[in-house]
Structure 1
Amino acid sequence: MTDRSATERLDEVPALADTSGMKEPPTTARGVRTRAALVAAARTVFERDGFLASRLTDITAEAKCSIGTFYTYFTSKEEVFTAVLEAAQDDMLHPGMPRVDDADDPVAVIEASNRAYFETYQRNGRLMRLQEQVATIDEDFRRRRLERGEAFARRNAKSIEKLQQDGRVDATLDPMMTSRALSGMVSRLAYSSFALGEDWPVDDLVETSTRLWANALGLTTPR
């Protein structure tokens, strides 16, 4: 079997959290349901109270179970937080994109990508805000967050570089710096709207961010 290149491995998006030290998942249907109820309850409490202020008694009360039951499935508040991120990971990291009829239109691709990002952020805004909080107190979590941002920036930089090679984007732009700047703009718009509560309509965010992307790259936006 051929090993993948180092570049391909670098572009892999790291998981939201390290799940290697977690307890083994339950094997019975009842155990699976109880664990899922604890994870759902933990997300509710974390998003409502913040990570630092949340207590295990709040989580178990929300899940309608005992502290003893909690310790059957998790060893700590940190571990159940990891489980919350694991449950949300597929939606947050791989939201998918709407179908683009003309894949040769880079502006349409940018628009579809931005829409998928904003819609995902809208569904998970409070959890995104919680991640910011935890990143300030957990070094491993902060490192993983930076690595995810770097992986996404490299992907966008490759797309920009390809457009430069095709003569469709300003060749004097540094692809990686441009990717960081434009991705950071979209990320901040999403955070302000859905994590901090400014609540801009998704359509407006998509239209504005897509036009700014296209204008910065020298592309033509559709009328």
Structure 2
Amino acid sequence: MNSASHSGRGDAGRDADWDGPAPSMAPADLLHDPPVTQRGARRRAELIAAARVVFERSGFLDSKLTDITREAKCSTGSFYTYFNNKEEVFAAVLQEAQEDMLHPGMGRAAGTDDPYAVLEASNRAYLEAYRRNARLMVLLEQVASIDPRFRELRRRRGETFIRRNARSIAELQKRGIADPELDPMLASRALSGMVSRLAYSTLALGDAEPVDFDVLVTTLTRLWANALRIPERAATATT
């Protein structure tokens, strides 16, 4: 389907890779081929699981390799069989988690193409994955602030989903459902940023008072729908 903006503005139609895979969360130069033996694969997996526990408990900067090997119940020498440093094992942690943290953007909800139902299903899936990986998201923010490789991959990954959402907004405009005067890319950037930052503050940092998860989903969905001026009939049909 043509992804060009209905209004003819913005760069929503420029990127042919909207439906391609999202960039990896881990820098390629920090990843290595997995072990060829079952024993090696098992030991490496144990180290990755232990590293995630330690990183989420102590933070990246304060975690030591000896903390990871103690958690994994192995020697330091065994660690160096699979990884050279903390950065490499952190990259492996991200690679293990990234499939669970993928979200489809504004795709289609099962059994319907009602725009409000799609918005709600997409937001719920994203927020559920975020909640499952909240501590890891805090770690990624920490590491991205000190390592430009992780920072660039995080930026590119976020841009992929922004562009996918921009395409969906443009399609809603073509169907006469969303506000035709909005620039799809700018609208997507603003709305996607709203969702991700609120997810970070409420689910990862816990800065605000506790918020009921369903209320969080409903509020963000209604704000997104109102911003796009999706007709109320679409909202009331699913509430």
Indicate conservation of the 8 Å contact 1:135/1:142, yes or no: yes
Indicate conservation of the 8 Å contact 2:108/2:118, yes or no: no
Q: In the aligned structure 2, how far is the partner of 1:99 from the partner of 1:179?
A: 19
Matched to 1:200, the amino acid is V
Indicate conservation of the 8 Å contact 1:16/1:86, yes or no: yes
* Structure 1 residue 149 corresponds to structure 2 residue 158: yes
Q: Are the structure 2 counterparts of residues 166 and 109 from structure 1 closer, same or farther at C-alpha, using a change threshold of 3 Å?
A: same
Structure 1 residue 111, shift from structure 2 partner: 0.3
Between Structure 1 and Structure 2, how many residues are aligned? Answer: 218
Q: In the aligned structure 1, how far is the partner of 2:136 from the partner of 2:153?
A: 16
Q: In the aligned structure 1, how far is the partner of 2:180 from the partner of 2:108?
A: 29
Please name the residue that 1:102 is paired with.
112
Matched to 1:100, the amino acid is A
Structure 1 residue 8, shift from structure 2 partner: 2.6
Q: In the aligned structure 1, how far is the partner of 2:191 from the partner of 2:213?
A: 17
* Structure 1 residue 45 corresponds to structure 2 residue 19: no
SS at match of 1:32: helix
* Structure 1 residue 163 corresponds to structure 2 residue 172: yes
Please name the residue that 1:57 is paired with.
66
Greater RCO, CA 8 A, separation 6+: 2
Structure 1 residue 94, shift from structure 2 partner: 4.3
Q: Map Cα deviations across residues 83-136 of structure 1 (whole Å, 9 max, x no partner).
A: 000100100124798953222x01100000000001000100000010000111
Q: In the aligned structure 1, how far is the partner of 2:168 from the partner of 2:108?
A: 18
Please name the residue that 2:227 is paired with.
216
Q: In the aligned structure 1, how far is the partner of 2:173 from the partner of 2:18?
A: 22
Indicate conservation of the 8 Å contact 1:11/1:152, yes or no: no
Please name the residue that 2:15 is paired with.
7
Matched to 1:208, the amino acid is T
Indicate conservation of the 8 Å contact 2:30/2:87, yes or no: no
Aligned counterpart for 1:75 among listed residues 84, 101, 118: 84
* Structure 1 residue 84 corresponds to structure 2 residue 89: no
Please name the residue that 1:3 is paired with.
none
* Structure 1 residue 36 corresponds to structure 2 residue 55: no
Matched to 1:44, the amino acid is V
Structure 1 residue 10, shift from structure 2 partner: 5.9
Q: In the aligned structure 2, how far is the partner of 1:98 from the partner of 1:193?
A: 26
Unaligned stretches of 5+ residues in structure 2: 1-13
Structure 1 residue 186, shift from structure 2 partner: 0.8
SS at match of 1:75: coil
SS at match of 1:7: coil
Matched to 1:8, the amino acid is A
Indicate conservation of the 8 Å contact 1:115/1:202, yes or no: no
Q: Map Cα deviations across residues 152-210 of structure 1 (whole Å, 9 max, x no partner).
A: 11111111111111111111111111111111111112111221025423211111011
Q: TM-score, normalised by structure 1?
A: 0.91
Q: Are the structure 2 counterparts of residues 196 and 88 from structure 1 closer, same or farther at C-alpha, using a change threshold of 3 Å?
A: same
Structure 1 residue 18, shift from structure 2 partner: 1.8
